[in-house]
C-alpha cells in the first residue's frame, strides 16, 4: 500500500516541497502517491524527481481533475 500525499488545493511550490519531505518518510524502493490539483505539480515533481535521483512511475489525470503522480524512492 503506497503512502499517499494529498496536496490538492495547494499551489507551487508547496506540492514539490511536501513531496520532498514525504519521500524521506518512506523506505528506499517504496512508492509515494501524490494527489495534486496544481497543473504545475506534474512538471515540477518530474523535474524534482529527476534532479534528486528518484523515478516517476506514472502520472495521470483522474476524472475529477486531480493529478495522481507516483514517485519511487531510489535513494
Whether omega for the bond prior to residue 3 falls within 30 degrees of 0, making it cis, is no
- pTM across the whole model: 0.95
Is domain 3-72 classified as CATH 3.30.110.40? yes
Could you say which of 4, 6, 11, 12 is catalytic? 12
> Tens of pLDDT along 17-49?
999 999 999 999 999 999 999 999 999 999 999
Indicate whether 2 pLDDT > 90: no
Name the pLDDT band for 8 (thresholds 50, 70, 90).
very high
Is 90 exceeded by the pLDDT of residue 69? Answer: yes
**Does 17 participate in catalysis according to the annotation?**
no
* Sequence spans of domains, the chain: 3-72
Strand ranges (E), 1-75: 3-6, 31-36, 55-61, 67-72
Amino acid at each position: 500500500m503506497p503512502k499517499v500525499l494529498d496536496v490538492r488545493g495547494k499551489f507551487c511550490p508547496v506540492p514539490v516541497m511536501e513531496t520532498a519531505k514525504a519521500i524521506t518518510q518512506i523506505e528506499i524502493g517504496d512508492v509515494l502517491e501524490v494527489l495534486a490539483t496544481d497543473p504545475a505539480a506534474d512538471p515540477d515533481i518530474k523535474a524534482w524527481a529527476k534532479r534528486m535521483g528518484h523515478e516517476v512511475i506514472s502520472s495521470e489525470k483522474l476524472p475529477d481533475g486531480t493529478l495522481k503522480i507516483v514517485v519511487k524512492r531510489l535513494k
